[in-house]
Amino acid sequence: MKQLRIVILFCLVILICSACNASSKESGAAKVVESFYHAIVNQERDQVGTIACAAWEKTALREIDAFMGVKAELSNVTCSVKETNGDTASVICTGKIAASYGNEITDFPLDGRIHTVVKEQGEWRLCGY
């Protein structure tokens, strides 16, 4: 009987957490764009599948490959949702990527980019900019 109670409690915790998860979905669109830029500077190719939508995955991989072997870092990057339309959101960012090519540092400002983020299988995925 005690064990059954534990199982019921376990299921309840999962369900409550599931509900909490549903209410915190709005910030996910901006977060996924930030994750993309983090993946770029950390050269984490394997993260792309989780970040990019199916149609944009190949381009996202190319973007990361362009920074492979380059020392890059994010400078004051923050993203926010500009507008949401159902399962699509536009995200804008501030800050820049500072990439070092030997002694030369090149900045890639993110200010002008409007990122398209779509909801795929219930998760926000970056689908281009």
Partner 1 sequence: MLLSDILILAIGLILLRVLPRKMQRKLFLFFTVLFIFKLQPAVPIRNFDFWFPFLSLSVTILCWQLCSRSKQKGDFTDLLVILGAIASVELTRLLDISNFLTKTRPPQIQLFLIGLLIFLLLLCLARFLRFRNQKIILTSGIVFLIFLLILLKTPSLTLDISRFLRMISGQSAENAAISDVRWLGISYLVFRLLAVLIDTRNGRKFSMPLGDFLIYVCFPPALSAGPIDRYDRFSKDLNAVSGELSGDFMAAFERISVGLFKKFILADSLSIVALSSQNSHLWIHPFWAWCALFFYGLQIYFDFSGYSDIAIGLGRLIGIHLPENFQHPYLKPDISKFWNNWHMTLTQWIRSYVFNPMTRKMRSNKAHPLPPWLIILVTQMTTMLIIGLWHGVTVNFLIWGAWHGFGLFFHQQYYQITKNLITELQEHKRLLYHAYTILSTTVTIFFVMAGWIWFVIPSTGDALQFFSRLF
Interface contacts to partner 1, rule CB under 8 A: 3, 6-7, 10, 13-14, 17-18, 20-21, 24, 44-50, 54-55, 57-58, 61, 120-123
- Taking each helix axis as running N to C, give the angle between helix 28-42 and helix 57-66, from 0 to 180 degrees, rounded to the nearest 10: 40
Look up residue 90 and give its two tokens: 């536009």
CB 121 to partner 1: min, Å: 5
Residue 120 Cβ vs partner 1, minimum distance, rounded to whole Å = 6
Q: For residues 10 and 101, which CB has a smaller minimum distance to partner 1 in the complex? A: 10
The helix (run of H) or strand (run of E) holding residue 104 is: strand 104-109
**Cβ–Cβ under 8 Å, residues 95 and 110:** yes
Q: What is the DSSP letter of 2?
A: H
Q: Is the Cβ of residue 109 or residue 122 nearer to partner 1 in the bound state? A: 122
| CB of residue 38 to partner 1, shortest distance in Å | 10
